[in-house]
Amino acid sequence: MTDTQTPLDYADAHIDDSIERLFALMRIPSISTDPTYADACARAAEVLAYELTTLGFDARVAQTPGHPMVVAHHDGPEGKRGPHALFYGHYDVQPVDPLELWKRDPFDPAIETREDGARQIVGRGASDDKGQLRTFVEACRAWKETAGRLPCKVTILFEGEEESGSTSLEPFLHEHAAELKADFALICDTLMWDTETPGLTIGLRGMAGGQVTVRGPKRDLHSGLYGGPARNPIQLLSGILAELKDTDGRVTLAGFYDGVPEISETVRASWDALGFDDGEFLAEIGLSVPAGEAGYDVLEQVWARPTAEINGIWGGYTGEGFKTVIPAEAHAKISFRLVGTQDPGQVWAAFEEHVRSRLPADCSAEFESRGPGSPAVSVASDSAPLTATRKALDAEWGKSALIGCGGGIPVVTSIAQILEMDTVMVGFALADDNIHSPNEKYDLKSFHKGIRSWVRILAEVGAMAKA
């Protein structure tokens, strides 16, 4: 039986040291999108690689055409095989603009006490993602300092371009697939459900999208001379887009729901237990009448159902004043959030056919897709790694929740497609952490209990090993 209490006690006793190591990393302005900070990004990578080396990892800084990666390996206990976990995080951060909205220097981290008495770490990267990745590193430190080893085999990958498009990530995964391949991945760049409930994200929606242009007359027309007999592309496109959904909010594209699963009763029960208030959710954004797919509550719509959304539409004269014109063309930007095994390419092709089949003979359409799109990512709620992780979280927090995510995390898709691995997504950030915004923060409770949680998770993963 693995002794978990000793590393937990170590984490508690050395929390101030852990905070100072986080502060040291946060003081490095590793802004990946601005070439001015390239040296800072390189320095952050070197600091992390050196630290992991001192903890007994075989660690290195791996160069890419952009900012470097940090790759580190640590063997599991002798005499046991599996499992092998790949942990991913990123050391780069967002720009700090607008600087005048910060209450302190973004790269001078500090602990502040809120009016409610809660303490929080403030500074750029506190939550996204330096504070998050450090919870894992500090958990590894607790195990190494007390047991001399880790409970399981671990590979670490720290990226330096997550906040600037991850241009180098997929080529790096392809080139180093054999080295990075593990039994599953662990990703910390996610949220808790609330301050008392850690979340295990079991679904990320995919994406397909692009732009459509509908063309009618060969030039803009005077509406007094041509209004009536001349086709108006704005009206035509608006009508076509209106037919994307029926009166129950279901998308009408042919084959759109192929591969869309219903959630399991286990997951449904977990979501019901969260006490989510549909009305409160809408009230916060100034709405009151649910508009989604009939028969599904708000959480299920956002986390587990596909969508079709019109993100922008324009045409004709949109300047000041008034111009009575029938435009020659109209444009719209469309996106589809996908779930299950929906194919992004097939969904976009179905949209193109939806438009073309409704065009009069003298009108045409042109399409520009946003690349191949990304499929949804699903994690089995009863997989062995997720079950082990949830057991650890329940032990630390007294509870946990299976949650979804309405958006996507590109690295999860890349790991699934290139390394052919499932990912357990568990992080300790909160929705109000101001990531990407001024005054970014990370609750000290999230940081401290995050370390303790990873100590427990590593133990539970190690317990899956076989002699």
65, exposed or middle or buried, with CB in 10 Å at 0-12, 13-18, 19+? Answer: exposed
In eight-state DSSP terms, residue 415 is: I
Question: Which residues are within 8 A (CB) of 32 and not within 5 positions of it... i.e. 6 or more apart?
Answer: 41, 66, 67, 92, 93, 160, 161, 162, 163, 164
Phi-psi sector, 381: left (phi>0), alpha (psi -120 to 50), beta: alpha
Please say whether the beta carbons of 9 and 453 come within 8 A.
Answer: no
**Which stretches of the chain score pLDDT less than 70?**
1-2, 466-467
Element (H, E) at 377: strand 377-378
d(CA 388, CA 386): 5
In eight-state DSSP terms, residue 100 is: G
What pLDDT, in 10s, does the model give residues 69-80?
999 999 999 877
Phi-psi sector, 210: left (phi>0), alpha (psi -120 to 50), beta: left
DSSP string for 306-327 = -EEEEEEEEES--SSS---EE-
Instruction: Please give the pLDDT value at position 466.
Output: 67
- Domains along the chain with CATH numbers: 5-204+376-462 (3.40.630.10), 206-260+306-369 (3.30.70.360)
pTM (two decimals)? 0.90
Instruction: Please give the pLDDT value at position 78.
Output: 86
Considering only CA atoms, give the Rg of the chain. 25
Residue type (1 letter), 403: I
